[in-house]
Amino acid sequence: MKKRLLLVVIYLAFISLGLPDSLLGAAWPSMFKSLNVPIHFAGIISMIVASGTVISSLFSARFIQRFGVATITTISVLMTALALLGFEHSENFIFICFLAIPLGLGAGCVDVALNNYVALHFRAIHMNWLHCFWGVGAAIGPILMARYLAMGQSWTKGYSTVGWVQMGLVIILLMSIPLWVRKQKNQNDADDSKSKFPLIKLLSIPGIKSSLAVFFCYCTIEATFGLWGASYLVLVRDFKAEDAAKFVAIYYAGITIGRFISGFASLKMNNQILVKLGQGLILIGILTLTLPFQATILPGFFLIGFGCAPIFPSLLHNTPHNFGKTNSESIMGLQMASAYIGITIMPFVFGKLASYIGFSSLIWFLIIILAIKISMNMDLNKRVLTKNYRQ
């Protein structure tokens, strides 16, 4: 019973991670006008948020060991809630950039700690469902934002509502602290025995470089489409901002539903098969968006999200299998860092590129990154298979 209650708390923590992630993409077609900044400036805010996540994730182990998972999780959610509430009172781009710092810092520690714990101690179904609940949060954000925009209200109201929802999650986390403390005493006897391998030696492990490239490319696709999908609809397909925000919600709903289903699928299929299926669905979704019909937009957005669904959790859960349990925590940190770098720089890079060549280039950008990801994933599987055969 305690294990199940702890899982519920972990799932709720991942809802809190997902809530802010999709807000910017849904709100930006309205935000950049009220802020009076160029449209590609969304990439700057996204980059600051992701940079904060990278920094906090690098120091996560030290903070978690000192203060415990429950305290760090609660403080992190509180930081993001306060930052989101700050958005309500600002229509100044510089101030929003400052608020983006705690928004990013609040996510990193929770992300690395919970992903590594679930990969080591739970089956693949729980890893998929963990990220399914991230998708729940990511889907709720654009729905709330679209509602306020359709009512003629400011995008600041959407941020405010999500901020108060996160405050509710803070209360739940505070109430659950005794449960976390008791579980820590029983679970962390070995303190996960971190690998002492230096970075250079970790990078020499067969398949690790390909794995880092796979994480980088996947998160580039997920983050770039999540941030710029609504702008593509407004600027290329002539959608209204409030309608475009709804399609962002459909994209994240595809991720959420897909991860719920892939959790069950993981009982019958291994992680590698789920990753391949996801890649194929993303490609179909992207190609669907190239068709000159309004009716194909919804299935295109949904299929891209549905294809993204199994990839990230399956790659994470496969880490101990690919590289061994001894090094899994260190390698997990490297993989998450590579993922965050993709999230940090690539949406900004595309935004800058699109400001010169147009947002219709989003389709070709996604296809090129997906092709690189598929190639690197094939190389990873080949190298891991060769290593296991030799052993």
- How big is the chain by its Cα radius of gyration, in Å? 20
Identify the pLDDT of residue 1: 65
Q: Give Cα 51 to chain centroid, integer Å.
A: 14
CB-based contact 177:186 (threshold 8 Å): no
Identify the pLDDT of residue 54: 77
Q: 90 in helix, strand or coil?
A: coil
- Distance separating alpha carbons of residues 102 and 81, to the nearest angstrom: 9
Identify the pLDDT of residue 214: 95
Dihedral angle sign, alpha carbons of residues 78, 84, 89, 90: positive
- Alpha carbons within 13 angstroms on the beta-carbon side of residue 320 total 15
The class that CATH gives domain 9-179+204-386 is mainly alpha
Task: Write out the E strands in the chain.
Answer: none
Tell which residue, 41, 331, 15, has the closest CA to residue 173. Answer: 15
- Distance separating alpha carbons of residues 42 and 351, to the nearest angstrom: 8
Tell which residue, 43, 19, 16, has the closest CA to residue 31. Answer: 43
Q: What is the pLDDT of residues 316-346, one digit of tens each?
A: 888 877 777 666 667 777 888 888 889 888 9
Identify the pLDDT of residue 385: 65
Identify the pLDDT of residue 303: 96
CB-based contact 250:301 (threshold 8 Å): yes
What are the boundaries of each domain within the chain? 9-179+204-386
CB-based contact 212:335 (threshold 8 Å): yes
Query: DSSP letters along 52-69, please?
Result: HHHHHHHTHHHHHHHH-H
Q: What is the pLDDT of residues 67-100, one digit of tens each?
A: 777 787 788 888 888 998 998 787 789 999 999 9
Identify the pLDDT of residue 268: 86
Residues of the chain short of pLDDT 50, as ranges, are: 181-196, 389, 391
